Amino acid sequence: MPSTTAYDQLIDLRDGHNARYRLIDHPPEGRTEVVSPLRGNNLSSAAKCIITILKLGRKTTKYVLAVILGDRKLDLNTLKLIFGATYVSFASADIAERLAGSPSGTILPFSFSPDLELIADPRLRRVEDLFFNAARLDRSVALNAEDYFQIARPRVERIAE
């Protein structure tokens, strides 16, 4: 039976690639700066996942899932330049949740939608494990960073301030 939730897709993806990871249960929380101490990681090893909307001219809209370290800020101007966009902003919560398949605060650093391009900051490679909510507010994942890049195969660009 095929997986139907983003959490199930995540587990299937990691297990299917023999990824090095561990699950961490914690009180429900979706804000990176609050959940990091609950799961015992530094903010600098958290994967912050942000869905953006880019306008590529008048008629073309593109959605991009940007993944950066938790102690950084997404550089929207750099994202705009990388994609040659005329406009860039954070996607609305309803669009982000639809594209991610999970609620805000639980967005995964993987794209399971053909309408969502994945881009990751290269500084994510500097940590041993990346910590992120597992498409749930009460469970997180510590995933080996090398395995993340091998499985997700994101476009890699400096997108964080």
Q: What is the pLDDT of residue 1?
A: 38
The encoded tokens of residue 79 equal 């994202």
In a domain, 1, yes or no: no
- 59 half-sphere exposure, CB direction, 13 A CA radius: 0
Q: What is the pLDDT of residue 113?
A: 93
CATH of the domain at 133: 3.90.960.10
In a domain, 79, yes or no: yes
Q: What is the pLDDT of residue 18?
A: 86
pTM equals 0.92
In a domain, 160, yes or no: no
- 106 half-sphere exposure, CB direction, 13 A CA radius: 18
Q: What is the pLDDT of residue 95?
A: 96
In a domain, 145, yes or no: yes
Domains identified in the chain, total number: 1
Q: What is the pLDDT of residue 121?
A: 98
In a domain, 36, yes or no: yes
d(CA 128, CA 113): 27
User: What is the residue range of 64's domain?
Assistant: 6-155
In a domain, 59, yes or no: yes
In a domain, 161, yes or no: no
Nearest Cα residue to 26 out of 12, 41, 15, 11: 41
* Spans of the chain below 50 pLDDT: 1-3
Residue 23's H or E segment, with its range, is strand 21-25
